[in-house]
Amino acid sequence: MKEYHCAVPLILVLCFAFGCQDKAARAELEKFKAQAAVEQQNLALVTKVFDELNKKNTEVYQELYAPDYGWHFPSNNPKGLTREEEEGFSKMLWAGFPDMRYDLKEMVARGDKVMVRFITGGTHSGEYQGLPPTGKKVEASGMWIGQVIDGKIVNAKEDFDVLGWMQQLGMELKPKEPKK
Amino acid sequence: MGQNAATLRRFLEESDNRNLDAWRDICTSDYRLHFAGNAPMSLEEHIQANKSLPEAFPDFRHTIEDIVAQGDKAVFRATLHGTQKGTFMGIPATGNAIQYTAMGMARFKDGKIAEMWMEADFLGLFQQLGMELRPKETKKST
């Protein structure tokens, strides 16, 4: 009987503890679900950005990029290009490669980050970086990682096979010649 | 940090530790590397390629900026630093300090890296070693 008396409060304590644990687990689950929902939204946003760029719709830069956005490419361009500078860069590419498209191969979202692995290519039918059109089809791979806050891309980092892209256009690496 | 993120971090750190033997534990035996537009490399080929870096850049190391993991994938962004003290891809030692970025995406299988996609700013690296892009010469002048 003594044991029984002791057990009653113990059961109460255990019930209380498990109740709390259940509550904590539920809160954890809710947090997880909320994060998964944000990650889905961020994936949709980044997919939309690349889709719109494939349509050459430069309005995405105003609509989906934060005003103080910075693009760290190539390498850690310390200042980061502004969204207006990135728009200029895209227009320069489209002038050289009017049929240029991004083909998204894989995406990973975690927290506020979205990563994209892509292949892009096009036909060199306009002037590009001083190179007259060659008619060559080029294709190269890249990776992009962006941070999304409140539905806007606030910064992005990219590594892209620029060397492979330029080699396909008939360029090669040579020791730098001293300036005349 | 999740297990896959920690494993990807260790993969990069073991390169800085000059302990590439650890990659044989971290990666599956049928590991494949897809780097830029090159043909896929096996684990042993990737180990050999990575070993040649500290020969040219003895202080070669990674600064990891981001690791993002989800499901069976983990991604890194890093800046690579070093000083060229030896020949690198035919370029004799310049003594130049170099810095360039790289990204990679790893696919995991049973806790090991089974496949990796990587990109790096190799053009930027070569430019820091005194190279530049020029139109390819089609005719050999003698």
DSSP state for residue B72 in the 8-state scheme: T
Task: Give the residue from chain B lying closest to A160, CA to CA.
Answer: B119
Confidence class for position A78, pLDDT limits 50, 70, 90: confident
Rounded to whole angstroms, the Cα distance separating B119 from B104 reads 6
Interface A-B, measured as beta-carbon pairs within 8 A, has a size of 112
Mean pLDDT of B4-19: 97
Confidence class for position A180, pLDDT limits 50, 70, 90: low
CA of B18 vs chain A CAs: smallest distance (Å): 24
Residues A80 and A70: beta-carbon distance below 8 Å: yes
Domain B3-128 has CATH 3.40.50.2020: no
Q: What is the pLDDT, as a whole number, of residue B140?
A: 57
Residues of B within an 8 Å Cβ radius of A: 34, 36-37, 65-66, 68-71, 73-75, 77, 79, 99-105, 117, 119-124, 126, 130-136
Q: What is the pLDDT, as a whole number, of residue A114?
A: 97
Expressed in percent and rounded to 5, the helix, strand and coil fractions of chain B are: 30, 45, 25
Count of residues in chain A: 180
Would the CB atoms of A108 and B70 count as touching at under 8 Å? Answer: yes
Q: In the predicted model, what is the mean pLDDT of chain A?
A: 90
Q: Any idea where the domains of chain B sit in the sequence? A: 3-128
Q: What is the pLDDT, as a whole number, of residue A2?
A: 45
pLDDT in tens, A118-160: 999 999 999 999 999 999 999 999 999 999 999 999 999 999 9
pLDDT in tens, A7-50: 555 555 666 666 767 888 899 999 989 999 999 999 999 999 99
CB count within 10 Å of CB B89 equals: 12
Identity of the residue in A115, A143, A175 whose CB atom sits nearest the CB atom of B131: A175
The region that residue B110 occupies, defined by phi over 0 for left and psi between -120 and 50 for alpha, beta otherwise, is: left
pTM above 0.95, yes or no: no
Rounded to whole angstroms, the Cα distance separating B116 from B134 reads 31
Q: Which residues of A touch B99 (CB under 8 A)?
A: 75-76
Confidence class for position B141, pLDDT limits 50, 70, 90: low
In terms of Cβ atoms closer than 10 Å to its own Cβ (0-12, 13-18, 19+), residue B92 is exposed
